[in-house]
Amino acid sequence: MKLLVGLGNPGARYAGTRHNVGWMAVDAIAEAHGFGPERAKFQGRLREGRLGSERALILKPETYMNLSGQSVAAAMRFHKIAPGEATVFHDELDLAPGKLRVKLGGGHAGHNGLRSLHQHIGPDFARVRIGIGHPGDKALVADYVLHPFAKADGDWLEPLLAAIAEAAPMLAHGDAAGFQNRVALRTAPPRKPQPAKPARPAPSDAVPSDAAPSDAAAPVAEPSPDAAPARSPLQSLLERFRRD
């Protein structure tokens, strides 16, 4: 059994905030794959369903971000889920908005939700890091992550959540790299090759560097075999003198 955890804070005050993008991601997965209704369990909101051939649980801890590990640890103990079978979706300041990376294990980088998980289940779980960008000043981070996404953010957020939901079975089957690539292609498809531009014709008075002088640059018709040889202006002038 797989456990997918979305990090966030409960209540209307935090709905739609950047810190809750983990909740948004697992909600999108649950809706896209027909998971059962939410029920209160393990100090959170739990849904059950399948991702491909894998049975999966989706958990949104309601202990507030700083105590997320309590809820996750309780669910893992009850269902005998090892840390390696858990995937946590969370916001990531160090990634540009709309970017996504999958990582197995590692530190918490000051993220309070990840710090709590480290304390209760250790570091050996997978993380889906969802980029929200950085405000540019460390002093602004707390207000930034607890502020709702701007309306313009929907241009990248909605396609990203849809891509996460579509590719989730790959993640459940252990193909983290495939999941990450699928999301990247879905949100930033490769550009179609553009047709080659036709070569610009040379100006009529332009002469290639290896061409003869300008009076010989124009195409010359091939003479017929029995035609008289062409006479130069000098030859014509000499003939006039001979006649005279």
Q: Which of 19, 33, 90, 111 is catalytic?
A: 19
Based on the residue annotation, tell me whether 79 is a catalytic residue of this protein.
Answer: no
CATH annotation of 2-187: 3.40.50.1470
Q: Is 140 helix (H, G, I), strand (E, B) or coil?
A: helix
Domain boundaries, the chain: 2-187
Please give the Cα distance from 233 to 227 (Å, whole number): 18
Please give the Cα distance from 61 to 203 (Å, whole number): 72
pLDDT in tens, 20-51: 999 999 999 999 999 999 999 999 999 999 99
From 124, 122, 86, 77, select the one nearest 104 (Cα to Cα): 124
pLDDT at position 223? 44
Residue partners of 223: CB distance under 8 A and separation at least 6: 229, 230
For the chain, list residues with pLDDT below 50. 207, 209, 211-228, 237-238, 241-242, 244
pLDDT at position 216? 43
pLDDT at position 227? 46
